[in-house]
């Protein structure tokens, strides 16, 4: 399984764009990249998933370079409610491997 | 559609007692997972299942057993609880090629 490395913590201010980068040097050909958000006392919640290039949804964008050894979660114009822990997960999503291991996550603190 | 439901939400045990945590999903997902999360830490995979009747070990399986007799349920058992097992336990499920859906967690304290 590909191991992921993220910054432990980041600070930002309301209204700014936040970019969180995840390194996954040994990502396999069939691995997808998935990001989750977790608030205190809650289970993680899916944000976005991608395989290559760029993916955008209503809450975030995911940028993946051609070599796929890293990925960047972009949160536009963050608010106080975006303060949370963000996890990058790289895993085989086809076949029966099934095993999904989380990294340490990035704690994002948004300040007023 | 309730998603992933964990029972109970809170529990206090004494060292040496046994208990079973229940995870139920109504989305007909093949894959189910049990994680534990200690204060200020990330999620660690205990056991998982790739389908009804199957189970597999995760990162930290010692002291836990699991069963997946029905597709919609994934049970996590502690045969002899220890204080080191005090944690928040999260269950998740997913379908092939799809992200995981998580429950709200079970907060377990062992005295």
pLDDT in tens, chain A (112 residues): 557 899 999 999 999 999 999 998 888 888 889 999 999 989 999 999 999 989 999 999 999 999 999 999 999 999 999 999 999 988 765 444 677 878 889 999 999 9
Nearest beta carbon to residue B33 from set A41, A97, A100: A100
Residue B83 CB-density burial (10 A; 0-12 exposed, 13-18 middle, 19+ buried) = exposed
Rg of chain A over all Cα atoms, to the nearest angstrom: 14
* Mean predicted confidence (pLDDT) in B92-107: 92
Give tens-digit pLDDT for B30-59: 999 999 999 888 899 999 999 999 999 998
Residues of A with Cβ-Cβ distance to B104 under 8 angstroms: 42-43
Nearest CA in chain B to A105: B42
Q: For residue A52, what are its two tokens?
A: 């290559």
Residue B23 CB-density burial (10 A; 0-12 exposed, 13-18 middle, 19+ buried) = buried
């Amino acid at each position: 399984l590909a191991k992921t490395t993220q910054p432990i913590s980041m600070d930002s201010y309301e209204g700014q764009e936040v970019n969180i980068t995840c390194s996954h040097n040994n990502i396999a050909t069939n691995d997808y990249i998935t990001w989750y958000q977790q608030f205190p006392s809650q289970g993680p919640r899916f944000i976005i998933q991608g395989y290559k290039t760029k993916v955008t949804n209503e809450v975030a964008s995911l940028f993946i370079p051609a070599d796929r050894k890293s990925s960047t979660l972009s949160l536009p114009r963050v608010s106080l409610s975006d303060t949370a822990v963000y996890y990058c997960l790289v895993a085989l999503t086809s076949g029966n491997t099934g095993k999904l291991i989380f990294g340490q996550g990035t704690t994002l603190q948004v300040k007023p | 559609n309730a998603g992933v439901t964990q029972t109970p939400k809170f529990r206090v045990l004494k060292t040496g007692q046994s208990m079973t945590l229940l995870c139920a999903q109504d989305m007909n997902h093949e894959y189910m997972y049990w994680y534990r999360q200690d204060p200020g830490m990330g999620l660690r995979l205990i056991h998982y299942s790739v389908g009804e009747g199957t189970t597999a070990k995760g990162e930290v399986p010692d002291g836990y057993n699991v069963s997946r007799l029905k597709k919609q349920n994934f049970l996590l058992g502690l045969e002899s609880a220890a204080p080191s097992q005090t944690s928040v336990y999260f269950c998740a499920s997913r379908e092939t090629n799809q992200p995981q859906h998580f429950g709200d967690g079970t907060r377990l304290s062992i005295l």
